[in-house]
Structure formats: structure tokens, C-alpha cells
Amino acid sequence: MKLPHKAHVALVDGTTFTVMHNTGTPFEPKLEGATKPDLSATNFSAGVRHQDNAGRDKGTSTQLDELAHAAAAAEWINAKAIAGEFDDLLIIADPKTLGEMRHHYHVELKQRLVGEIAKTLTGETTDRIEKAIAAA
């Protein structure tokens, strides 16, 4: 994947949210400046979509706290996009989190989104994240 110089990268899962930026080249990203924004997970409305008979019958459960965290991350990113604090953004999140975040994307965020990677990379080293971006 081609990641523009100075693009921001949001790494998200059900409990973790980290933002970095690319100081490298588009084909050889170098991520720096990792920050962990403080989120307040208050939007628990997502859970309504995930409460179905099939899921209950199979014993699978969707953690409402994880979905609320995804919604909070999307809202934080939306606010930064609306404020013009970044031009390009790549979102890397596990499939469930990414799916929930998409429900909350603001049009301004969509215009700045250069890509998504549906993969859990929050526990990986920066080097492995850079390689995953370059390979995507």
C-alpha cells in the first residue's frame, strides 16, 4: 500500500487506540510519534445491531464495551478530520472494530481516508506494522 508522507495511522481494537504518522516514503513507511488518545466510550447504541438470535444460539457474544470503544475512536478521528488536523489517514483495526467504526465515519473523514487494513496489529512492533502496511 502506498502511504503518503505525513499520513496518520490509527491502530484500533476493542480496547486500544494508538495514532502514529508516517515520516518515511510512500512505499517504505516509517511510523513515529505514537500517542494514545484518552477516549470516553459513551456510545453503546452499537450493541443493538449485534444482538440477534443466531448469535445467542451459537453462544457468540459481542462485547458492548469493545463496540463503544470503536465508536469513540471513530468520533475522535472524525473531530480531528473536521478540524483539519490531518490530510491523509490509514485505519488499521480488527474486522469487528473496523466494521463498527465505519458506521460512524463522518464525510470529512471519508475524504481523508487513504485506506483500511482489517487486521489486528495493535500488539505488534512498529517494524511489523510498517511491513504490513507496505505489503497491503
Domains, the chain, ordered by start:
8-135 (3.30.420)
Element (H, E) at 110: helix 107-112
Q: pTM for this structure?
A: 0.85
Residue written as cell 505514537? 34
pLDDT band at 106 (very low <50, low <70, confident <90, very high): very high
Instruction: Check whether 32 has a pLDDT greater than 60.
Output: yes
Per-residue pLDDT at 80? 96
Instruction: Check whether 52 has a pLDDT greater than 80.
Output: no
Per-residue pLDDT at 130? 96
- Report residue 127 CA to chain centroid gap: 18
How many Å apart are CA 93 and CA 66, to the nearest integer? 12
